[in-house]
Amino acid sequence: MILGIESSCDETAAAVVRSGQELLASVVASQIATHSPYGGVVPELASREHLRSLVPVTRAALQKAGLTYEELDAIAVTSGPGLAGALLTGVSFAKSLAWALNKPLIAVNHIEGHIHAVLLEECQKAGDEIEFPVMALVVSGGHTHLFLAARSGESWHYENVGHTRDDAAGEAFDKTAKLLGLGYPGGPVIDRLARFGDAKAVKFTFAQLKHTARQPSKRAAQVRDGRKRFDFSYSGIKTAVLRYVELHEMFATIEKRRRALLEIASPSDEVLRDLCDQQTLDLVASFQAAVVGDLTRRTLAACEEYGVRTLLVSGGVAANSALRASFERRAPRAGLRACFPSRAMSTDNAAMIAAAAYPKWLGREFSGLELTAEANLQLR
């Protein structure tokens, strides 16, 4: 019975998972309302909100699971990567709990957590074993990574075979939405609006996408240490959207929309659509199609190169309907099984941290009280 704690960015979360598979409770306190007036996460405010929420969120998770602190077997916590101050709040809280309760402390990499969010739900489908080799695409506001995943005994190991050279895919969604006056976070809004636009209306040419839109299996894939790499780049498309907005003099309507949305707490799809002209809807649809197309092409090329049987797609952007549809359509044709977490498990939560901690519990990979937050923690 592992208690997971997550505070790496703008969600304070606690969850209890039994044996890495059975979700007993998952509570997430979102800070969207705190950060949205600024159009992005303000690190100082995030840390303060975590301090406020950690205790009530953990109590709520235990209450939901019907457990006392004493009945827990271990405390797992995200130790990185993420915002240093935000991570520190969770790590300090988890260390205090582990010390006071005299329970083992398990440090979990946030990216590994995202990968285990898929496994947690897939493992619940009885008799359904994951086939290796496994590729994990972790695509969120802070990360765009391709990892080849292997298991030896209970331990999981990861080899990075691709990552973004600049912006993460979720960051491109967020920055594009902000630029278009659509608020924060941008991914869900763009996802909802894209279906009203023509995805072929605006061509994001290869040059605008810099090196990302070239043929991934040939030119963009690089060889390092004899292993082919499949890197991404999403800062070019953000600039291309800005150029389009400048060229078509869209700033006045953007500002009007931005002001209107500040007054509406949770706008419906219809309200959002009414605040956008067709040109904006087409731009949004074309942007999403370009990013989704690039993520799919590059990931499938990497899977082909490494003879992968199972693809795990996780992280906030895995909630995107077009990305799911794209992989669901194209993965079977490539002889691949593509697995996604449910939408709630795609974005940050603590169930994924508790699930990723279970193999470490079995392998007795515990941390001491010297554990500290590592903003740039690598996954291996």
Residues in the site for ligand KG4, rule: CB under 6 A?
9, 140-142, 170, 173-174, 185-188, 191, 315-317, 319-320, 347-348
For 100, phi then psi, to 5°, come to -65, -35
Determine how many CB atoms are found less than 10 A away from the CB of residue 369: 10
Which of 291, 311, 292, 289 has the alpha carbon at shortest distance from 300? 311
By the rule CB under 5 A, 140 interacts with Zn ion: yes
Residue number with CB closer to Zn ion (167 or 282): 167
Q: Find which of Zn ion, ligand KG4, none residue 231 binds, CB within 5 to 8 Å per kind.
A: none
Residue number with CB closer to ligand KG4 (72 or 292): 292
Residue number with CB closer to ligand KG4 (57 or 97): 57
User: Are 136 and 149 in contact, with CB atoms under 8 Å apart?
Assistant: yes
By the rule CB under 5 A, 191 interacts with Zn ion: no
Instruction: Write down the least CB distance from residue 183 to ligand KG4, Å.
Output: 11
Pairwise CA distance, residues 83 & 375, whole Å: 6
End-to-end C-alpha distance for the chain, whole angstroms: 25
Residue number with CB closer to ligand KG4 (111 or 209): 111
Which of 124, 60, 43 has the alpha carbon at shortest distance from 345? 124
Instruction: Show the site string, 17-46: x = touches Zn ion by CB under 5 A, - = not.
Output: ------------------------------
Residues in the chain: 380
By the rule CB under 5 A, 348 interacts with Zn ion: yes
Segment near Zn ion (CB under 5 A); pick from 126-134, 139-147, 205-213, 270-278: 139-147
Residue number with CB closer to Zn ion (79 or 253): 79
Residue number with CB closer to Zn ion (9 or 276): 9
Cis peptide before 81 (omega within 30 of 0): yes
Residue number with CB closer to ligand KG4 (175 or 257): 175
CA 109 to chain centre: 13
Q: What does the block give as tokens for 35?
A: 């950060």
Q: How many residues bind Zn ion (CB under 5 A)?
A: 2
Instruction: Write down the least CB distance from residue 186 to ligand KG4, Å.
Output: 5
Segment near Zn ion (CB under 5 A); pick from 20-28, 83-91, 132-140, 160-168: 132-140
Tokens 């593509």 correspond to: 338
Q: b/e map of 251-290 (b: 16 or more CB within 10 Å)? A: eebbeebbeebeeeeebeeeebbebbeebbbbbbbbbbbb
Residue 2, beta-bridge partner list: 17, 74
Q: What does the block give as tokens for 66?
A: 């019907």
By the rule CB under 5 A, 144 interacts with Zn ion: no
Q: Find which of ligand KG4, Zn ion, none residue 20 binds, CB within 5 to 8 Å per kind.
A: none
By the rule CB under 5 A, 346 interacts with Zn ion: no
Residues that bind Zn ion (CB under 5 A): 140, 348
